[in-house]
Chain A
Amino acid sequence: MPITNMILQLATGLLTSVNIFFLTLLFTFPFGLLVALVRMSKNPFASNIARIYISIMRGTPLMLQLLIVYFGPYYVFGWSLRNYPPFVAVIIAFVLNYSAYFAEIYRGGIASIPIGQYEAATVLGYSKQQTFFKIILPQVIKRIVPPITNEIITLVKDTSLAQVISVMEMFTIAKQIANAQSSMVALVVAGVFYYVFNFVVAVVMEQIEKKLDYYR
């Protein structure tokens, strides 16, 4: 197979990896925040549910979670997998997993905002929602950019786990080509693609960090 053809195939796979990446982030940012808020709620029942959820998601392999999310409905309920694309399972599993990590990051960020910020807002008449979304959350976001960057970089590499349920993302394709050719070239090229992907992510995150540097 000519190298251009191989690169084209890998690029198609990369597109799928990028899709997994963005869709996961799209849902994880709000869902992680929701989990953090439930985790911090005064209701001990809700708070404990969130605590257990986070503990399980962080304490078991993402690969196992992927398999359970994909095959679970079939084994537990006998549902057919025909109308259940593995891609959808990947997004669900990734969002569930990453939200646990994001939730803990949000929680740390929220807890680090001085109580005086809430008090000033309360005295000025801001509602609870206004206080959170206008005063607290913007400051939280600034503080959590570095740990979130770490998670996002891990996520780029974790997209390769989608191979276990045969989603045609870049790693799956690279392995197929490598097997067919008995050569590592495709794997090396895929490695370069992952590296570039993460390089772009790091640059973007650095820009965001700089953008938020206008205050301290």
Chain B
Amino acid sequence: MPVLEIKNLHKTFDQNEILKGIDLTVDKGEVVSIIGPSGSGKSTLLRCATLLETMTKGSMKYSDTQVVTEGSDGFSVYLPPKELTHVKAMFGLVFQNFNLFPHYSVLKNIIDAPISVQKRNKDEVIAEARQLLAKMGLADRENFYPYQLSGGQQQRVSIARALINNPQILFFDEPTSALDPELTGEILKVIRELAAMRMTMVIVTHEIEFAKNVSDRVIFMADGVIVEQGSPQQVIQNPQQERTRTFLANLNKK
């Protein structure tokens, strides 16, 4: 059964159609990379999937929870807010700018939502958070505040925060774009380790080499549509569409 199933997603911002009918199905354990020029709607797609934006038309299903249905008029109908809170434990999102809470310690950044939102047992959550921090190589940093950490460390904390509810799927929106070049490696390494553990992931990235190595499937988006998708070999080595070729050629020039 797919972890995520988005059908016919349309997103309109005041008359402007930004997403023009996106179908995205992600299977358990699959790693999907999304590439494409800036402004093509990649972030908007992730934001619709993570309920930060409401989709205009289309439907969305997480495992066996139908989160959004298409009404008889074609417009999207969402589950009531109470049920959406539970849905939010099913996914995690890692932002480009980390968005850690500056007034919370590293540990509190990770444990507060599961305790105060998902009402999980505090001791259990703390134990899990410490395990995650150890995995991220931050075991000795739990009492630090975000400003005391490097960008790479902050991003690792935010990945731990996204993982604490054992989500079925993890989304990344350009997780290395805000980092100094020498720090991107440590984040890509963490993502690779998650991929090795068969974590289901959707990654928006400009790191084409990384996308090629880590993904089971690469999606190329432009102008609010999926132009082409397939294995990394197909899409990156041997693109079929002119737009994909142009995009990749421009990337290589830089």
Contacts and interface: CB of A to CB of B under 8 A. Distances in A.
Interface string A48-90: 0000000000000000000000000000000000000000000
Contact of A123 (B52, B97, B100, B118): B52
Interface size class of A (residues with CB under 8 A): 20 to 34
B117 interface: yes
A122 interface: yes
B108 to A, nearest CB: 10
Contacts of A120: 95, 99-101
Interface stretch (A23-31, A134-142, A190-198): A134-142
Contacts of A139: 102-103
Nearest to B96: A116
A142 B145 CA distance: 15
Interface in A91-115: 114
B241 interface: no
Nearest to B161: A124
A135 B116 CA distance: 12
Contacts of A151: none
Contacts, number: 56
Interface stretch (B85-93, B132-140, B210-218): B85-93
Contact of A119 (B95, B100, B116): B95
A120 B113 CA distance: 10
Given A122-B51, A122-B52, A124-B113, A116 B99 contact: yes
Contacts of B101: 117, 120-121, 135
- Secondary structure type dominating chain B contacts: loop
A145 to B, nearest CB: 14
B147 interface: yes
Contacts of A125: 85, 88-89, 113, 117-118
A130 B116 contact: yes
A132 interface: no
Interface centre among B95, B99, B118, B145 (most CB of A within 10 A): B99
A121 B146 CA distance: 16
B40 interface: no
A123 B147 contact: no
A121 B112 CA distance: 10
B147 A215 contact: yes
B117 A119 contact: no
Contacts of B51: 122-123
A122 B89 CA distance: 11
B231 interface: no
Interface in B91-149: 92-93, 95, 97, 99-103, 112-113, 116-118, 145-147
B88 A134 contact: no
B103 A123 contact: no
A126 interface: yes
A134 B116 contact: yes
B50 interface: yes
Given A216-B102, A216-B147, A123 B89 contact: no
A130 B117 CA distance: 9
A117 B97 CA distance: 10
Contacts of A114: 97, 99
Nearest to B116: A130
B248 to A, nearest CB: 30
A119 B52 contact: yes
Given A119-B52, A134-B116, A214 B95 contact: no
Contacts of B113: 124-126
Interface in A129-175: 130, 134-135, 138-139, 142
A124 B117 contact: yes
Contacts of B116: 126, 130, 134
Q: Which 4 A-B pairs have the closest CB atoms?
A: A120-B99, A124-B113, A125-B88, A116-B99
18 contacts: A114-B99, A119-B52, A119-B95, A120-B99, A123-B51, A123-B92, A124-B113, A125-B85, A125-B88, A125-B113, A125-B117, A126-B116, A127-B85, A130-B116, A130-B117, A135-B101, A139-B102, A139-B103
